Amino acid sequence: LRAKQFKSLIRLDILAIMMHQFRWIHQRVQSMEQVWVKAGRSLSAKYNLTERKAKQILVHPGLVTDESGFRMAESAFSGGPLGELVQWSDLISTLHILGHHLHLSASLADLKEILGNNSGSCPPRNPKFTINLIYTDIVGLHQIKALLGRSWTKYRCKIRVLDSFGTEPDFNHEAWAQKHNLKTYWGGFGLMPMQFNTMFPHTPDNTFLGFVVEHPLSSKQTQLLHSTTRRKQALVYGKRATFWEGKGAYLDLIHKYFELHGTVDNNKSSAVPSYVKNHGIISGTEVQTLLRQSKVFVGLSFPYEGPAPLEAIANGCAFLNPRLHPPQSSLNSDFFNGKPNRREVTSQHPYAEAIGEPYVWVVDMDNATDVERALTAILNQTIEPYLPYEYTCEGMLQRVNTLIEKQDFCHGPVSWPPLSVLQVVIPEAGTSCKQACENVGLICEPAFFPHLNSAEALAKHNVDCLQSGSYDSEVVLPAFDNGTRHCLLQSDPLLFSCVRSHPSLIRICPCRDYIKDQIALCKACV
């Protein structure tokens, strides 16, 4: 990290201002500039970051392009989803602070200028550099494929896909997905599952990229926030009036204990009770001030897995987290329908759920006793702000830097994390590797599956196979069949999966340790 890179993000600003698609992103990047620079300095004081080469990185958020039709950039200022834009902003800041060369693209024309096109009739704008890495999303990946035709595969191993909710291996494998009726617009790309980068560390088959929870900015603002006194006030988590529909009884109950505030885009809706003080859509800094004044941030059970609950607890405000009963997944929810995974979401915010009380209170919204128990406890408690390291600027810089330097899908078998951190766990039949590793305080590491996928490797780990080597493509292999005592090996590396299980098969699980509050990295990885 050279001092020059810390000067400012101004070069980036000029580009971003020119593109309306980057307006919200640009505002966030700029408003957090000081914290990023400070975090970069702090990281470089702890680690030797000099032995790195600056990479040429294409950043193409397909969702913000006009051609995608999602209108995400436009709706950002009127209650539209912001989670993805938060992640793009923080990724751009991270890559810049780490000293890489960024090529921002917000349209098909930009993409064509940077990558060229299929027929070669339009060569890349600047043939002097070779793109080393591409960050895009699923919409962007469709656009890249359409632009380049078959030759998109020359970029295949360089692609990283921002994918909030995750892509499980069976949905990613084109032929498998087709055969098992799992193919949707959002899946079937046949990348390595670790090329999908998630918002939260929920799918160990993918890579956890994350984002940053806004910190107080200047020392003056920090002082101001610290001096803000907490009132008997609740802030409701719901930018759109539709999120409030059918929640009247729950809100009335909370109103018995707290003065209610909201940040709803359109307060004309009758779904928002008249006793709510609505501030409309406000800036991130203003949201922080409201959170500092409030004792509780009230979840309405939607949106799922957004950044805001982490902002609440980072500002010392408890989060009331509605339980989803039954858990929601692509099998039973309109929202998750078509998403390339079968992950079950047990509450509005499972990551926060794991943080637990006194910061996060999981409640059954329809059970007044349950809600009142939580409200009384919150009213009588004082909590300190809490922010896991992985959601700080420094934590994100550390993680993304390690991933960029070490994760390599272009040259031979995946060779990171170091094999020395592999710990093999052999659970009972019917248990997934995600679960098996979690049960012993570890995390499933898919990069290690190939190292367990041979008769010799299994023998080394004391798996007593009567016969082995019967290769098969299933999503639960390698595994041991308890009945026949046969070891079943995986024939298709794209189908290695942490999350699947089979009632009569014992999975052979590759696990590793992790740094507390930096779960993407093993202890020996930094």
Which residues contact ligand UDP (rule: CB under 6 A)? Answer: 81-83, 86, 239, 263, 281-284, 287, 303, 306-308, 311
Q: CA angle, 12 as apex, 396 and 40 as ends, to 5°? A: 30
Q: What is the DSSP letter of 348?
A: S
Least gap, CB of 291 to ligand UDP (angstroms) = 9
The position carrying tokens 């009588």 is: 380
Nearest to ligand UDP of 177, 199 (CB atom): 199
Residue 472 φ then ψ, to 5°: -155, 150
Least gap, CB of 140 to ligand UDP (angstroms) = 18
Least gap, CB of 492 to ligand UDP (angstroms) = 34
In the sheet that 423-425 helps form, which strands lie side by side, from edge to edge?
Answer: 423-425, 509-512, 443-444
Calculate the dihedral angle through the C-alpha atoms of 341, 342, 347, 352, rounding to the nearest 10 degrees: -50
Give the helix/strand (H/E) hosting 212.
none
Least gap, CB of 274 to ligand UDP (angstroms) = 20
Nearest to ligand UDP of 37, 264 (CB atom): 264
Q: Which two tokens stand for residue 133?
A: 């890495």
Nearest to ligand UDP of 90, 445 (CB atom): 90
Nearest to ligand UDP of 251, 287 (CB atom): 287
CA 233 centroid distance within chain: 30
- Rounded to a whole number, what is the distance in angstroms from the first to the last CA of the chain? 17
Q: Which residues pair with 60 in a beta bridge?
A: 136
Q: Which two tokens stand for residue 412?
A: 């031979």
Nearest to ligand UDP of 263, 401 (CB atom): 263
Nearest to ligand UDP of 90, 110 (CB atom): 90
Nearest to ligand UDP of 210, 306 (CB atom): 306
Rounded Cα distance, 520 and 525, in Å: 9
Exposure letters 55-85 (e unless 16+ CB within 10 A, then b): bbbbbbbbbbbeebebebbeebeebbbbbbb
Residue 74 φ then ψ, to 5°: -70, -45
Q: How many CA atoms lie within 13 A of 16 on its CB side?
A: 23
Residue among 153, 233, 242, 164 at smallest CA distance from 196 = 164
Least gap, CB of 311 to ligand UDP (angstroms) = 5
Nearest to ligand UDP of 81, 273 (CB atom): 81
Nearest to ligand UDP of 135, 319 (CB atom): 319
Least gap, CB of 33 to ligand UDP (angstroms) = 17
Residue 394: count of CB within 10 angstroms of its CB: 19
Least gap, CB of 136 to ligand UDP (angstroms) = 18
Residue 110: count of CB within 10 angstroms of its CB: 18
Question: Identity (one letter) of the amino acid at 136?
Answer: T
CA 277 centroid distance within chain: 32
Question: Identity (one letter) of the amino acid at 36?
Answer: W
Least gap, CB of 358 to ligand UDP (angstroms) = 21
Least gap, CB of 263 to ligand UDP (angstroms) = 4
Least gap, CB of 235 to ligand UDP (angstroms) = 10
Residue 143 φ then ψ, to 5°: -65, -40
Least gap, CB of 516 to ligand UDP (angstroms) = 24
Nearest to ligand UDP of 10, 282 (CB atom): 282
Distances (CA, A) of 245 to 27, 160, 203: 31, 37, 31
Local structure of 325: helix, strand or coil: strand
Nearest to ligand UDP of 278, 346 (CB atom): 278
